[in-house]
Amino acid sequence: MCVEVETPWGKPSSPITISSLPDGSQVAFISRHGAAHTITPSEVPARANIAALKHLGVRAVVAFSAVGSLREEIAPGHFVIPDQIIDRTKGIRPDTYFRGEGLVVHSMFGEPFSRQLNRFIAPKVKEILDKEGVSVHTDKTVVCMEGPAFSTRAESLMYRQWGGDIINMSVIPEAKLARECELDYALICTATDYDAWRTDAEPVTVEEVVKTLHTNAGNSRAVAAGILEDVCKHVAAGELTEIKGSMQFACVTRKDVQPKAAREKLSFILPYFSD
């Protein structure tokens, strides 16, 4: 079943497909860049995407992303489940639900991914990909760049010095917005290339990325199919607890001076703003 959701932040990037698993659990799928991949990373309506998922009753998000590798040991074709983010976007993308609303809200973001969700999915992903001889790396740092151009060699080398392990153009603002919506968020990455840091090789090209993406597609589908029921079971059992309620006291503006229009708008994603 496909549903169209209109949010206070506009329409999502694609219709949302809702499917039932064999155990009866329901999952929702949204195409980040549009059904025909027509939306650039800077133009993804991330606020609408995350808000629509939250409004439909989604409680945890497992996102997939192609990434460039900043480490020799993370070869094209390998999978990575990161636990930290370095934000190198440039303020082009709306990255919060609270800017310009007449109130101040601070979300915790020291651990940008759901540690509990990562602990649940990492062993399962490794189990699935071990059968295919594919390596899985965990506890890595993803750099999120603005794009759409790839890194210069100097930038790529700098990201390595900063402690970056992989690089993409998508995790910000997704992870921040998921946190503001109290959604547990995890990212499963597929390495497609070595970015531009290898001085003895040519920098990454679109052709190289697309070729590896096609190779990785089957493994990504196998991972998605293999983890969904487990994730749903953990959610249904109430085992994802570290994000729940984290926004309840995040607003530092007194309720009596919070604009009514802002409260009505934000109640779409957070019950704390409902009157």
User: Residues forming the annotated binding site?
Assistant: 7, 32-33, 65-66, 169-170, 193-195
| Short-list 232, 274, 236, CA closest to 255 | 274
Q: Does the annotation count 195 as an active-site position?
A: yes
User: Residues forming the annotated binding site for phosphate?
Assistant: 7, 32-33, 65-66, 170
Which of 87, 195, 200, 230 is an active site residue? 195
Which of 23, 95, 193, 275 is an active site residue? 193
User: Residues forming the annotated binding site for substrate?
Assistant: 169, 193-195
Q: Does the annotation count 193 as an active-site position?
A: yes
Q: In what order do the strands lie in the sheet with 16-20?
A: 2-3, 16-20, 26-29
The CB density around residue 241, as the number of other CB atoms within 10 Å, is 9
The CA-atom distances, in angstroms, between 47 and each of 17, 213, 237, 254 are 18, 26, 28, 25
In whole angstroms, what is the distance from residue 218 CA to residue 46 CA? 26
The CA-atom distances, in angstroms, between 98 and each of 85, 104, 267 are 21, 7, 12
In whole angstroms, what is the distance from residue 232 CA to residue 47 CA? 23
Enumerate the active-site residues.
Answer: 193, 195
